[in-house]
C-alpha cells in the first residue's frame, strides 16, 4: 500500500515508565524524515486529549528539547487510564478526520493496544486510509508477541538495584525484610529482584509471584527456614499475589477500582504491612519490616537501563517506519534474535494479537517450590536490565 499523506497524531497511555518518552521522541524524530507526514501533533493525556482536541504541535520542538525529554521519566504528553466506549472511538475517528490525521500512534500496554484496535476497526469500516499503530510500553512486561516490553528493563534495574542496597541493609541489621513490587498478573518485575544477587547468601532469598498460589503458612515457614539458617531474610513479593482460588491477597485491603475494573494495588503499603504482621505472629521473628517500592519503580530519574532506553527509542521509530513503509495498522513487537550475543528485532504484529489478553511468566522461569526464579529467568532478564551498581564486602567476609 502506498503511504497516505497527512498529519500524525501521537499520544501516551497507562502507567508512565522511565523510557516512554524515548518511544515518543523516537517516533517524532523518525516522522521528520518522511515527507508524507506533514504536521506532528501530540495529544495531551491520551485519548482524553483527542476527545478534547487538546493537541501540541510537536514540529515546534527543537531536537535538543526532544533529546532532553527522551531521558526524562514519565509521560511528557501526560497519560490517562480510560477505556473508550464505542461512542468515544467514533468521536475520536471523526476528530482525526477533521484534523487530517493520516497516522495515529498510541504508546501503551494491552489496554492501549485494544483502544487502537477499536479505532482501527472504525477506520476500516469507514474505508479510511488512517494508519493505526500501537507502540508497546509496560513495566509489567506482560504484552503478548513480545520477548519483553519497553519500560520493563528500567523498572527492573530499579528493583534489582534497590534489592542490592536493601539486602546490604538487612545484612547489616538482621531481621526480615519484605519488599512489595509492582505487577498485577505477571511476576517479571518482582522476579527481577533476583538480579541483585552477587553471592550465594545474597537476597532476595525468596520470591513470590502472581503466577503461583500464595499461602501464608507456606510463606511463614519458608521465611522461618531462611531466617534460621542466615539470621536474616529478604523477600520479594509481587503486589499481585493471589490465593489458590485466584483471589488477590491485596484486594482485601483495596476499595478502589480503575476504569478497566482493576483493584488499586499500588500507592498503598497495606499488603506489606499485612504480611509483616502475619509473619511476626506466625514465625515469631521480632524484627520484620516491609517496604512497598511504589511509583519510584517506574519514575526514578537517571537510572534507566541503557538497553531499555535504546529499544524504547527503537519501537517508536519502527512504528513510523512500518506506517510510512505501507503497513496500515499493527503493533510493534520486540523479538529476540537467536544468537550468541543479545540482539533484538522489531516486528509489526496484528493489533488483536497484543490487545486485551496479557502474558505471564513461563513455567521455566519459576522454581518448582514456587518461591524463587530459575537460572533461565536470570539469563533472560540480565541483558535487558544491563549493568548494575558495583557492590562488595570485605575479603574476610566473603
The footprint of its own copies (CB under 8 A) covers: 12, 15-16, 18, 42, 45, 56-58, 60-62, 65, 68-69, 71-81, 161-162, 164-166, 168-169, 171-173, 177, 266-270, 272-273, 276, 288-296, 298-303, 388-397
Give least dist CB 54 to its own copies, A. 11
In this structure, the dihedral spanned by the alpha carbons of residues 138, 28, 39 and 330, taken in order and rounded to 10 degrees, is -50
Give least dist CB 168 to its own copies, A. 3
Give the contacts of 52 (CB within 8 A, at least 6 positions apart): 44
Say how far residue 164 (Cα) sits from the centre of its chain: 21
Set 88, 140, 142, 166: catalytic member: 140
Give the chain's radius of gyration (CA, Å). Answer: 22
In this structure, the strands spanning 175-181 and 344-349 are unpaired
Q: Which residues of 112-140 are buried (b: 16+ CB within 10 A; e: fewer)?
A: bbbbbbbbbbbbeeeebbbbbbbbbbbbb
Task: Please choose, from the candidates 255, 292, 325, the residue with its C-alpha nearest in 3D space to the C-alpha of residue 36.
Answer: 325
If the CB atoms of residues 219 and 346 are measured against its own copies, the closer one turns out to be: 219
Known catalytic residue: 217? no
If the CB atoms of residues 350 and 389 are measured against its own copies, the closer one turns out to be: 389
Give least dist CB 344 to its own copies, A. 25
Give least dist CB 370 to its own copies, A. 26
If the CB atoms of residues 20 and 361 are measured against its own copies, the closer one turns out to be: 20
Phi and psi based region of residue 79 (left: phi greater than 0; alpha: psi -120 to 50; beta: remaining): beta
Could you tell me how many residues make up the chain? 398
CA distance 352 to 372: 33
Give the contacts of 377 (CB within 8 A, at least 6 positions apart): 191, 194, 361, 364, 365, 366
Give least dist CB 39 to its own copies, A. 13
Give least dist CB 203 to its own copies, A. 12
If the CB atoms of residues 158 and 377 are measured against its own copies, the closer one turns out to be: 158
Q: Kindly state the cell numbers that stand for 324.
A: 510510512
Give least dist CB 398 to its own copies, A. 9
If the CB atoms of residues 223 and 276 are measured against its own copies, the closer one turns out to be: 276
CA distance 14 to 268: 19
Three-state DSSP class for residue 194 = helix
Q: Residue 64: is it exposed, middle or buried by C-beta count within 10 angstroms (0-12/13-18/19+)?
A: exposed
Q: Which helix (H) or strand (E) holds 39?
A: strand 37-43
If the CB atoms of residues 173 and 252 are measured against its own copies, the closer one turns out to be: 173
CA distance 309 to 71: 8
Give catalytic residues, as residue numbers.
140
Amino acid at each position: 500500500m502506498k503511504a497516505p499523506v497527512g498529519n500524525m497524531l501521537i499520544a501516551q497511555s497507562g502507567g508512565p515508565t522511565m523510557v516512554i518518552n524515548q518511544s515518543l521522541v523516537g517516533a517524532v524524530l523518525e516522522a521528520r524524515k518522511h515527507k508524507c507526514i506533514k504536521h506532528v501533533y501530540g495529544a495531551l493525556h491520551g485519548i482524553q486529549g483527542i476527545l478534547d482536541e487538546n493537541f501540541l504541535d510537536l514540529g515546534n520542538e527543537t531536537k535538543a528539547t526532544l533529546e532532553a525529554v527522551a531521558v526524562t521519566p514519565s509521560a511528557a504528553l501526560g497519560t490517562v487510564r480510560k477505556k473508550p466506549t464505542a461512542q468515544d472511538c467514533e468521536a475520536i475517528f471523526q476528530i482525526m478526520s477533521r484534523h487530517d490525521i493520516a497516522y495515529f500512534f498510541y504508546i501503551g500496554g494491552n489496554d492501549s493496544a485494544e483502544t487502537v484496535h477499536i479505532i482501527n476497526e472504525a477506520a476500516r469500516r469507514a474505508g479510511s486510509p488512517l494508519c493505526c499503530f500501537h507502540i508497546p510500553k509496560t513495566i509489567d512486561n506482560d504484552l503478548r508477541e513480545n520477548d519483553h516490553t519497553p519500560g520493563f528493563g528500567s523498572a527492573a534495574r530499579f528493583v534489582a538495584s534497590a534489592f542490592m542496597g536493601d539486602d546490604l541493609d538487612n545484612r547489616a541489621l538482621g531481621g526480615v525484610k519484605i519488599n512489595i513490587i509492582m505487577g498485577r498478573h505477571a511476576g517479571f518485575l518482582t522476579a527481577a529482584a533476583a538480579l541483585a544477587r552477587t553471592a550465594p547468601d545474597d537476597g532476595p532469598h525468596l520470591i513470590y509471584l502472581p503466577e503461583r498460589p500464595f499461602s501464608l503458612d507456606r510463606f511463614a515457614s519458608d521465611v522461618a527456614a531462611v531466617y534460621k539458617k542466615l539470621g536474616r531474610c529478604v523477600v520479594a513479593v509481587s503486589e499481585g499475589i493471589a490465593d489458590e482460588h485466584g483471589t488477590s491477597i491485596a484486594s482485601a485491603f483495596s476499595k478502589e477500582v480503575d476504569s478497566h475494573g482493576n483493584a488499586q494495588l499500588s500507592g498503598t503499603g497495606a499488603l506489606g504491612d499485612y504480611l509483616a504482621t502475619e509473619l511476626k505472629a506466625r514465625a515469631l521473628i521480632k524484627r520484620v519490616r516491609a517496604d512497598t517500592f511504589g511509583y519510584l519503580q517506574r519514575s526514578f530519574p537517571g537510572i534507566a537501563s541503557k538497553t531499555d532506553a535504546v529499544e524504547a527509542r527503537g519501537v517508536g521509530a519502527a512504528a513510523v517506519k512500518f506506517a510510512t513503509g505501507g503497513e496500515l495498522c499493527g503493533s510493534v513487537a520486540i523479538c529476540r534474535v537467536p544468537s550468541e550475543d543479545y540482539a533484538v528485532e522489531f516486528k509489526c504484529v496484528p493489533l488483536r494479537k497484543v490487545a486485551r489478553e496479557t502474558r505471564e511468566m513461563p513455567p521455566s522461569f519459576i522454581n518448582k517450590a514456587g518461591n524463587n526464579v530459575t537460572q533461565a529467568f536470570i539469563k533472560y532478564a540480565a541483558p535487558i536490565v544491563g549493568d548494575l551498581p558495583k557492590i562488595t564486602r570485605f575479603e574476610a567476609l566473603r
